[in-house]
A and B are shown apart, each in its own frame.
Chain A
Amino acid sequence: MARYSSLRTLQCARAIACSAIGYFSAVTATPVLAQELNGAYAQHHRILPPAATRSLVSYATPRVNLVRSDGQHVLLSDEIDDGRPVVLDFVYTTCTSVCPLSSQTFSALQEALGSERERVHLVSISIDPEQDTPQRLSEYSSHFDAGPQWQFYTGTLDASLAVQRAFGAYRGDKMSHPPLTLLRMAPGQPWIRFDGFATVADLLGEIHRPLAAR
């Protein structure tokens, strides 16, 4: 699709850096980007740092029932322990600033994964479950061209809160929910946590290492 044609360049530009980034993706960029980032940090008191910080964290998956956008009632652990690497974020469909960028990144990520995309499970969980009915999530999913590898979940308010708390994502209200992306290569492994806007390159870098090694 034309929409993502420019993405390939993005991956190439940053993939090399990503494979060596370790814990600070902020210092990974080309000279032009590095200059931008330094400039951004110089005024970090007033704008969001552009790079996500990466950390490794262990989370116990809560025993929570959710409703998938196709209306199926499912157990969260069954969904994320299906053997595939999981990339998980929290969204709500009427969100206008943070979530659209996260969802756009997921959308671009599935494009960038190409034929490997169905070997990865993208999971987006609503933090506004009373508004986000399965039908609204389906519409949202189509809007971002989500393929079968990317699924959306809602449920009761309590269920959503339980998941948010379990993954250290609860901030008290949906309006202040921070950009956060979690990635786990396999059940039992720790989660890689990106606080801030993880880029497609950040996520691809994580996914590609083990997949290539298999």
Chain B
Amino acid sequence: MSAARAVLGGLLALGLLVPVWAASDPHGGTPVPNIGESIYQRGVLGSGAQLQGLREVTAQGGGLLTKGSDAACINCHLRSGLGSISTDRRVSIPPITGQYLFQPRQMKAGDHDLPYVENVHADREPYTDASLARAIREGVDSEGKPLSSLMPRFALGDADMAALIAYLKTLDPRRVPGVTDTVLHFATIITPDADPVKRRGMLAVLQQFFADKNAFPFGPTPHLRSSGKGIYSKSLYMANRRWQLHVWELTGPPDGWQAQLAQDLAREPVMAVISGLGGSNWSPVHAFCEHERLPCLFPNVEVPVVADHDFYSLYFSKGVLLEAGLIAEAIGSPRAGGQRAPLTVQQIYRAGDAGEAGAAALAAALARRGIPVQSRVLPAGAQGNGVADALRLAESATTLVLWLRPEDVAAMGNAPATPQAVFISGLMGGLENAPLPASWRSRVQLAYPFDLPDRRVVRVDYPMGWFSFRHIPVVAEQVQVDTYLACGLLAETLNHTADVFVREYLVERMEDLLEHRYLTGYYPRLALAEGQRFASKGGYLVQFGGTQGNTLVAAHDWIVP
């Protein structure tokens, strides 16, 4: 063991460590130097040098070197420090927050208040600071037994080690705001530019889901799987907590939203934000959730913030940005038409609406393929006005892309002889209910970032039955089904996290469980991981077909841009 340590020391001494102190404070404001967190999350030592670790260490001190962010503790033990266990239970990464490491095991049954996590390795002597330092440096546990081969042996000086251990102690699960002995508080956030019909539909689903959740009888619950002898006999049960929903309705321009949300959160502490509804700008809400380290779970937004390395905001899809990707694939891919004359692409969107972001994303995606795009911008508001004129001006284009709401779609008038290809945003235009004038209907390809109606029947039937049984009017089906799905995912994840109320753990468990979910509503499949914040990644381009012209026909297979 000392040989390994000597080699690691040697690496340090030889100056093989490259300073990469580029990490900026992700939460804005003045960076608080927290060396322990920096080592844990980014693999950056107090000196700014990279953390280094060795795996498969030999007696001669050789092995596989891992360094920097690849070596950071967060990769395996996760942001919460609570680790994970694979479904087949073969790979188990233990929790390494202070309590799990240091708490004595010879406690009287029932005295233990450690929240239960499946992957805990409890059957060993508690660590001391010294034996933990030895474990991290030399790969042996508190009883001198070797740790898993996955765990590297790290080169850490005394000051860095002390900082890291201090950080692990701060990771202890503790009551988060919004969790009381009897109530779990959640919020949903609605921006002022959100569609009022969708707002009504979403709130009806949320309120009913919470009411159902609270309809079960309350009182002390029996301990689960507990014989009363294990160290978790006290903690291994789930208290029945009532769910309470707080509706945070934002007002005024976006630059004031973060301050409003901060006030809402101070007044009504919540564990997480569930669902929600945005318009063309969700970024202040996203920024708020990241800043407050508040899970923001599956809001209904057409323009999400694409920041896969943010942590707290999870989305079902990239919305209009995904649609732009689908359309770009169709326009730019050779399979769309083989040899042909140069493309002239024109797109139309209304200022201040979600189409602005979709149009920008499409222009960027086509620019990468060397295809220029001309944009025509309709003035904000005034739905339905100016559309037919803009379409006449765009008549010479070979390809037309429309980012329009139903009122504008209905006002499109008669289709001209050209252009040859017309794409329209399904999310904005109303999906299969887009009120396309007859002459356009047979011409357009609709971006459709969902599974096709006939393929999602079973997955959507359940929520639709639930709405019907509870007399919830279906006014915005896709938004309401997504809202129901978000609530279901939250309930399911909380069932799996037992009484471990740690915001990061909630997100991590959700990442894990999502892929096992069969009832995925409008989506064929959902999956997330660290560094993946959009659960559904593809979509279709569909045309209206069938004898009545009301069947959706996919123009291609499922496309993942």
Give the chain A neighbours of B64 by CB distance below 8 A: 7, 10, 101, 104-105, 108, 200
Q: Which residue from A92, A131, A157, A178 sits with its C-beta under 8 Å from B91?
A: A178
The distance in angstroms between the C-alpha atoms of A7 and B558, with both chains bound, is: 44
Contact of A57 with B by CB under 8 A: no
Complex CA distance for A43 and B147, rounded to whole angstroms: 10
In the complex, A154→B84 CA distance in Å?
26
Residues in B lying within 8 Å of A, measured CB to CB: 7, 16, 54-56, 58-66, 70, 74-76, 84, 86-88, 90-93, 121, 123, 145-150, 511-512, 515-516, 525, 527, 529-532, 537-538, 557-558, 560
A130 contacts the other chain (Cβ, under 8 Å)? Answer: yes
Give residues in A with beta carbon < 8 Å to B.
Answer: 2-4, 6-10, 13-14, 30-33, 36, 39-40, 42-43, 46-48, 50, 92, 94-98, 100-101, 104-105, 108, 128-131, 133, 156-157, 171-179, 197, 199-200
B145 adjacent to A97 (CB under 8 Å): no
If A48-B148, A175-B512 touch, does A94 touch B530 (CB 8 Å cutoff)?
yes
Q: Which residues of B contact A32 (CB under 8 A)?
A: 59
Least CB distance from A136 to B in Å reads: 10
Q: B70: which of A9, A98, A100 is its contact (CB, 8 Å)?
A: A100
Residues of chain B lying within 8 A (CB to CB) of residue A31: 59
| Selected contact of A6 from candidates B65, B515, B557, CB within 8 Å | B65
CB contacts (< 8 Å) of A96 on chain B: these are: 74-76, 530
* Shortest beta-carbon distance from A174 to chain B in Å: 7
A/B interface sample: 13 pairs, CB < 8 A: A2-B16, A7-B64, A9-B60, A9-B61, A10-B64, A30-B59, A32-B59, A33-B59, A46-B121, A94-B532, A97-B84, A156-B558, A174-B527
Interface of B is mostly: loop
Q: Other CB < 8 Å A-B pairs besides A7-B64, A172-B87, 19 of them?
A: A6-B62, A9-B61, A13-B60, A40-B145, A48-B90, A94-B529, A94-B532, A96-B76, A97-B84, A100-B70, A128-B529, A130-B537, A130-B538, A174-B527, A175-B86, A175-B87, A178-B91, A179-B91, A197-B149
Query: In the docked arrangement, what's the CA distance between A31 and B236, Å?
Result: 42
B560:A100 contact, CB within 8 angstroms = no
A29 CB, min distance to chain B CBs, angstroms: 9
Known A2-B16, A94-B529; contact A46-B123, beta-carbon cutoff 8 A: yes
Q: Which residues of A contact B59 (CB under 8 A)?
A: 13, 30-33
* Nearest chain A CB to B146 CB, angstrom units: 4
Closest A residue, CB atoms, query B66: A104
Q: Chain B nearest CB: distance from A82 CB in Å?
A: 27
CB–CB B148/A30 < 8 A: no
**Please, how many angstroms separate the alpha-carbon atoms of A104 and B152 in the complex?**
13
B307 to chain A, nearest CB (A): 14
Inter-chain contacts of B537 with A (CB < 8 A): 130-131
- Which of B87, B150, B512, B515 counts the most chain A CB atoms within 10 A? B150
Chain B residue with the shortest CB-CB distance to A7: B62
Query: How far, in angstroms, from A33 to B86 measured CA to CA in the complex?
Result: 26
Q: Using Cβ atoms and an 8 Å threshold, which residues of chain B touch A3?
A: 65
- How distant is the Cα of A8 from the Cα of B538 in the complex, in angstroms? 45
**How many Å lie between the Cα of A133 and that of B147 in the bound state?**
35
Residues in A neighbouring B56, C-beta threshold 8 A: 10, 199-200
Known contacts A39-B145, A97-B93, A9 near B58 by CB under 8 Å: yes
CB of A34, distance to nearest CB on chain B (Å): 10
Q: Which residue of B lies closest to A98 (CB)?
A: B91
Residues of B within 8 A of A47 (CB): 92, 121, 147-148
Measured between C-beta atoms, what is the minimum distance from B276 to chain A in Å? 24
Q: Which 7 A-B pairs have the closest CB atoms?
A: A50-B149, A9-B62, A176-B86, A176-B87, A96-B75, A6-B62, A10-B62
A159 to chain B, nearest CB (A): 11
Provide the bound-state CA to CA distance between A178 and B86, in Å: 9
Among A13, A47, A171, the one with the most B-chain Cβ atoms within 10 Å of its Cβ is: A47
Contact A171 B87 (CB under 8 A): yes
Set of chain B residues within 8 Å of A131, measured between Cβ atoms: 527, 529, 532, 537
